[in-house]
């Protein structure tokens, strides 16, 4: 019975991650994506740490194969991996407030790292403090959309899984 519970749980969690990757392929507002929610959810719910990294990062990579790559991809993947780590911190404390805080923290982390990478690797901004501030200022609308998307998708993923566990006890921890 435990094996069936773990399999149903694993398949459901995997399905949520793959759904998130598919949602990236649908037209959306800039940065209103499930990227951070996928990473948080994987970090919080996969029991094995290597799966918490491999499956969400793999789903991100598969969707990027369709969407395309750019020179700042490393910052996105590093951010994504760090957000999985934030998900680890949620494991034993999954509540509305902690998920909201983790989602907001993830948005800010993603914004800081990806915009820093843009500033470092781009000829658009002078390589000084003024240029860095210009880069962060130009990215603020994307931060706004990122926060909205991260909170929205985290609510869907975490809330949906909570409700599914109530309806289907086999999804709950064994």
Question: One digit per residue, pLDDT tens: the chain, 174 residues?
Answer: 445 555 889 999 999 999 988 888 888 888 898 989 999 999 999 989 999 999 999 988 998 899 888 888 899 999 999 999 999 999 989 999 999 999 999 999 999 999 999 999 888 999 999 999 999 999 999 999 999 999 999 999 999 999 999 999 888 875
The number of folded domains in the chain is 1
* pTM as predicted: 0.89
Domain limits for position 162: 2-171
Query: In angstroms, rounded to a whole number, what is the distance separating the alpha carbons of residues 112 and 154?
Result: 20
Cβ(58)–Cβ(104) below 8 Å: no
Three-class HEC string of 65-96: HHHCCCCCHHHHHHHHHHHHHHHHHHCCCCCH
């Amino acid at each position: 019975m435990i094996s069936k519970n773990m399999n149903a749980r694993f398949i459901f969690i995997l399905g949520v991650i793959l759904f998130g990757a598919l949602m990236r392929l649908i037209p959306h507002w800039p940065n209103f994506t499930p990227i951070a929610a996928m990473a948080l959810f994987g970090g919080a719910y996969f029991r094995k740490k290597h799966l918490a990294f491999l499956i969400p990062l793999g789903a991100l990579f598969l969707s990027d194969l369709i969407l395309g790559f750019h020179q700042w991809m490393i910052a996105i993947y590093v951010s994504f991996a760090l957000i999985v780590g934030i998900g680890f911190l949620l494991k034993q404390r999954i509540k509305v407030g902690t998920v909201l805080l983790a989602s907001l923290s993830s948005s800010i982390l993603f914004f800081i790292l990806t915009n820093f990478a843009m500033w470092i690797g781009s000829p658009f901004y002078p390589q000084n403090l003024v240029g860095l501030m210009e880069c962060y200022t130009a990215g603020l609308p994307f931060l706004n959309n990122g926060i909205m998307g991260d909170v929205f998708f985290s609510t869907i993923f975490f809330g949906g899984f909570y409700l599914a566990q109530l309806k289907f006890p086999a999804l709950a921890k064994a």
